[in-house]
Structure 1
């Protein structure tokens, strides 16, 4: 019998469990079957790897040596298997492509681009409030592509092998009750907006609220945030006249709210597209980026406030990363 990777996994499982009985349960084997396999491994390696005691199994000196080598070898083997699996998947046309997205206007454009470039592929999508979980899913192979968002300079770190591609960087606008006095202005000063009660997302991993508060603090004011909400709930609180908030420049006004640019463009938001470098979308990435950006530009007139702002700031540079 030659030593195999599975044998090293068995030795590690016994050491981790601390007994043959618990290790057998974890490996879904019978205890006698695991004992017989351990004896064969020990015969192959030339000595006992564990001292069997009533309280459990403890590694011998030889066992410690084998465990040290196994712990050095197995992570590299696991990474090799993951990399080759992704490479094999990317070499053929995918039959399924899973898309994730935060709350941005790009998801629909991305789904259409994928369907156009990969006809016949089953495409599914799911949303997340923050970018971090989507990046974890990309790194673990649970998603093939994701639309992310972050404030410039606060982009989350990407797992190994996941590539981030900027799509568009745009300002954040004020979201106001339609009857609010500030809604009559062409643009809103941030220090004036900071005097109001706010509705804002809860403190979490995407750092949105942290960024809003830190920028508003430069006006000398701390935000009053009696309402923690996101998405539709946040819009309804603003519509009811209870608070003000911020929104993406592409937010489409609905009855009861008004969207106005912030004077001086103090807050920005960056949209990104991410996929794994060995994933099935990697070879189509440049084409996907072109299509999504073009579709976004074509759809911009759907947001009047954004379109007016863009006409007034045709050369406005985005903030540095």
Structure 2
């Protein structure tokens, strides 16, 4: 038996999970098959690499040495696969730009601007409520970039090697409620004014449930939080059944009112992630323009940005005709 990359991947999976059962599930193998592979690898190397007991598997001293050599090889092979997949997406007639995104009203304008600025580019779009899942797909080469939001208090798991550019350092999340809700009469809504309401949020969105729960606890409220997708949440909010969180760029409806929350207790950071700075340079300007276009088209957000309702300093928020805030455009590589 000769050792191959797949065998090294097996060793890394066992070490990372600490369990044959978990490693088998991660690799898509049956546990007996994985156990057999491990025994063959150990026979080939002539040494025991893991100690197995009731608590799981842990590397032996020699196993740690082997893993120290195996991990860089596995990572390098993964990089080759990623780069090859990215290159395969390019065709002789143009470039298919594979974009992933969480929900945003800026996306249609972004795609339109990308096509207008570079006719050879054909953007494709994959939506997902999980920002972490999208970042993983970029790292694996299944997407070229992802436009995602990071809920305050729930940091995203940015895979090593990805480059990240901040579009908005902190976008406040607003509340959506029925147009005839008593709190809709106020330019800003206090959480205390919603003490008798049930909330609905999509708990599959990374960090969203936790952020609302923290804000309610901080306000001394014990409101019921229901799980549902946002299409359902908006429909129920229009009838007064629930109130829900919304992005400030959400388009107004006659049966709904969108208002800032007093003190802006819930915020998100908007990020564009890709594998290289060049990819960010190509796509970021169009995204920035598309975002601030929809921001100017959202009355509640426009008022918040202008500060006319709160009297607060705008040091952290740009005027809608002044472009993005100073923090926009910051780039960083995940460590």
- Whose Rg is larger? 1
Aligned counterpart, 2:266: 267
Please state how far the C-alpha of 1:135 moved relative to its aligned partner.
1.3
> Which of 289, 292, 298 is matched with 1:303 structurally?
298
* 1:148 matches 2:143: no
- TM-score, normalising length: structure 1: 0.72
- Secondary structure, aligned partner of 1:8: coil
Say if 1:232 and 1:121 are closer, same or farther in 2 by CA, change over 3 A: same
Distance 2:126 2:255 in 1: 29
Deviations 1:6-26 (A, max 9, x none): 93229949x99xxxxxxxxx9
Aligned counterpart, 1:163: 163
Aligned counterpart, 1:187: 188
* 1:290 matches 2:285: yes
Say if 1:263 and 1:219 are closer, same or farther in 2 by CA, change over 3 A: same
* 1:78 matches 2:74: yes
CA contact (8 A) 1:113 1:288 kept: no
Greater mean alpha carbon deviation, residues 214-223 or residues 282-291:
282-291
Distance 1:60 1:264 in 2: 64
CA contact (8 A) 2:183 2:189 kept: yes
Aligned counterpart, 1:200: 201
CA contact (8 A) 1:101 1:148 kept: yes
Say if 1:253 and 1:11 are closer, same or farther in 2 by CA, change over 3 A: closer
Aligned counterpart, 1:44: none
Say if 1:137 and 1:12 are closer, same or farther in 2 by CA, change over 3 A: closer
Please state how far the C-alpha of 1:81 moved relative to its aligned partner.
3.2
CA contact (8 A) 1:12 1:70 kept: no
> 1:47-62 residue pairs with structure 2 within 5 A?
59-60=42-43
> 1:216-227 residue pairs with structure 2 within 5 A?
216-225=216-225, 227=226
Distance 1:146 1:163 in 2: 11
CA contact (8 A) 1:248 1:269 kept: no
Deviations 1:161-220 (A, max 9, x none): 112221112211111111111111111112222431111222x46111111111121111
CA contact (8 A) 1:172 1:268 kept: yes
Deviations 1:41-75 (A, max 9, x none): xxxxxxxxx9xxxxx96854853389968755444
- Secondary structure, aligned partner of 2:159: coil
Aligned counterpart, 1:38: none
- Secondary structure, aligned partner of 1:186: coil
- TM-score, normalising length: structure 2: 0.69
Deviations 1:80-109 (A, max 9, x none): 233345557778993322111111223224
Distance 1:110 1:228 in 2: 30
- Secondary structure, aligned partner of 1:232: helix
- Secondary structure, aligned partner of 1:64: coil
Say if 1:92 and 1:189 are closer, same or farther in 2 by CA, change over 3 A: same
Please state how far the C-alpha of 1:110 moved relative to its aligned partner.
3.4
Say if 1:175 and 1:217 are closer, same or farther in 2 by CA, change over 3 A: same
Deviations 1:121-169 (A, max 9, x none): 3321111112111111111111111111122342312111112221112
- Secondary structure, aligned partner of 2:46: helix
Distance 1:252 1:143 in 2: 28
Q: Which runs of 5+ in 2 are unaligned?
A: 12-27, 29-35, 50-61, 318-326, 328-335
Say if 1:149 and 1:11 are closer, same or farther in 2 by CA, change over 3 A: closer
Please state how far the C-alpha of 1:302 moved relative to its aligned partner.
2.0
Distance 1:138 1:58 in 2: 32
Distance 2:305 2:146 in 1: 26
